[in-house]
Amino acid sequence: PLPLASRLYEICQTLCTLDTGASRLHLLLLRPQLFKANSKIQSVNVTKFCLPTVNGTTGESPSLSVAERKALAEEWCGKARGRMDQVVVHVGAMSLRDSQDLARHAAQIGADGIAVIAPFFFKPKTADALRKFLQEVASAASALPFYYYQIPAITGINSQWLVEGIEQLIPSFRGVKFSGMDLMDLGQCVMHSQPQWSILYGVDEVSLNCTIAGDEPLSANFLTSVSSCSTFNYLGSHVNKLLSAFETGDLIQARALQVLPMRLLLVASFDVGVNKQLMMEVSGLHLGPPRLPLMPCPLERSEKILQKYRSLFP
């Protein structure tokens, strides 16, 4: 399982590397991304964990074939071993069989856990249908810790109905990544969580809010952590400062630090093409364009976003 949250930790979301026409993977471009991530991890507070999640939404998994997702997972699991704390592979897909295939593959290549988003075409109509889907996927890799990726705007399923008692259906269930603005729904995840679970939060602009959402009796074993889907790759050091301020009780400083990503996101939005472009500008890595139907960030807009980034994070 992921480390118990006696301390805050972060999850970095990997980006896929495509050739110039976005027609195929370019794995040679992936290796500098991994080593850059490793060097960045070494420079941040060692009391925090950094756990890459491979083939998530930031990694354009809905646009990739099963074979491409397997190739990326193999590259990350193989090269990250010994360099990063753990690697979690997202195996969610619209097809149950594809999800099971990806889950088995993740177990075979030594992934430390798997995560699954609910199918969004066709969507499960009830929490029971979704729980059965997740149970079938988890059973394909029952030895791996299992995490559910909850995006309420997509699933339409209330978290309480989903997570309450789910450990009886899925013994390997270890937590939820919650990407939604409804903190009451997030609180339902917290209230029904078990001591061995991790609850990860994925809405960058209100990440501070999630750190205080919870149920008092669980606070000794559990604290929500930040899982920044779109900005952690280039705002990791800033997020660490924000979390450190919260941990030390300096809420005035934490609030001031939280405002800065909000200002950037007002300009940059949440587009994968924007995030790829900004990541390339900030890191010097070449990641290639996003794959259709996603579009690359226009040069004029890219320059405006980079200027804003540098003014906020000099």
DSSP class of residue 18 equals: B
Q: Within a 10 A sphere around the Cβ of 122, how many other Cβ atoms?
A: 8
Q: Is residue 58 annotated as involved in ligand binding?
A: yes
Return the axis-axis angle of helices 96-108 and 66-80, rounded to nearest 10°.
Answer: 20
Four-CA torsion 230, 233, 235, 237, nearest 10 degrees: 150
- Determine which one of 9, 149, 201, 234 is catalytic: 149
Cβ distance 181 to 150 under 8 Å?
Answer: no
Q: How far apart are CA 36 and CA 160, in angstroms?
A: 39
Q: Which of 70, 177, 276, 309 is catalytic?
A: 177
Position 62: which residue type?
A: P
- Tokens 């990739």 locate to 64
Confirm whether 149 is a catalytic residue.
yes
DSSP 178-240: E--S-HHHHHHHHHT--TT-EEEE--GGGHHHHTT-S-GGGTTT---EE--TTTHHHHHHHHH
Q: Which of 99, 74, 76, 215 is nearest to 149 (CA)?
A: 99
Strand 50-54 to strand 10-13: parallel, antiparallel, or no bridges (unpaired)?
Answer: parallel
Residue 138 to residue 144: CA distance in whole angstroms: 8
Q: Is 211 annotated as a binding residue?
A: no
What ranges make up the beta strands (E) of the chain? 10-13, 50-54, 88-90, 113-117, 146-150, 173-178, 198-201, 225-226
Q: Are strands 146-150 and 113-117 parallel, antiparallel or unpaired?
A: parallel
Residues annotated catalytic, as ranges: 149, 177
Indicate the annotated binding residues.
58, 226
Binding site, annotated residues for pyruvate: 58, 226
